[in-house]
Amino acid sequence: MTGFEQLQTRLAELSPKLYPLFSEEFGDAVIGVERSQLIETAEELRALGFDRLGMVTAIDRQEWFTLVYRVASRSLSAAVFLKTRVPREDAHLDSLCGVWPAANWQEREVFDLFGIVFDGHPDLRRILLPEDWVGYPLRKDYEDDRIIRRPDYI
């Protein structure tokens, strides 16, 4: 039995709510949710023992942003990726600071570099870039004359 199947079996016993959301993506256990379900899913995961939020990040998929949260549990010795999407024109979703305090700085980083707004975040300010920076550098359409384009030959 792979780690994914083990975790799937455990979740089937522990949480009938999370079980149907569960899938395998590139060998990792992924729970994909709508952004409106994010907080309740996160709370359910936390109640199951997923007490460590390791990473928060985003991927610019042109029409939408994919938000990726990696949460781990010591008691279940397992980790899952919690994923959700937000549309590009309406880039905001609920903050998970209330569920895992570790989200605080990492959500600020996503806000800083992608311009995704986290509703209910206690201190949503830029973190890596200066406060007067214009634009969000990790968006694919970001333009800046300081970016040096490498030639296509390698």
- Which of 5, 24, 25, 43 binds other proteins (CB under 8 A)? It is 25
**What Rg, from alpha-carbon coordinates, does the chain have?**
17
Q: Is residue 104 within 8 Å of residue 125, measured between CB atoms?
A: no
- What minimum distance in Å lies between the beta carbon of 137 and other proteins? 5
Kindly state whether residue 59 participates in binding other proteins, applying the rule CB under 8 A: yes
Closest approach of other proteins to the CB of residue 16, in Å:
26
Is the distance from CB of 112 to CB of 104 less than 8 angstroms?
Answer: no
Nearest-approach distance from CB 150 to other proteins, in angstroms: 5
Token pair 């029409």: residue: 63
Distance CA 97, CA 122 (A): 8
For residue 24, give Cα distances in angstroms to 27, 80, 95, 154: 6, 10, 25, 35
Q: Which is nearer to other proteins, 19 or 142 (CB)?
A: 142
x/- track of binding to other proteins for residues 129-148 (CB under 8 A): xxxx----xx--------x-
Binding span for other proteins by CB under 8 A among 10-18, 34-42, 86-94, 126-134: 126-134
Asked whether the beta carbons of 91 and 39 are under 8 A apart, the reply is no
Residues 72-111 that bind other proteins (CB under 8 A): 74, 77, 81, 100-102, 104-106, 109
The verdict on 113 binding other proteins (CB under 8 A) reads yes
For 15-95, where are the alpha helices, taking DSSP H only? 38-48
Q: How far is the CB of 9 from other proteins (least distance, A)?
A: 20
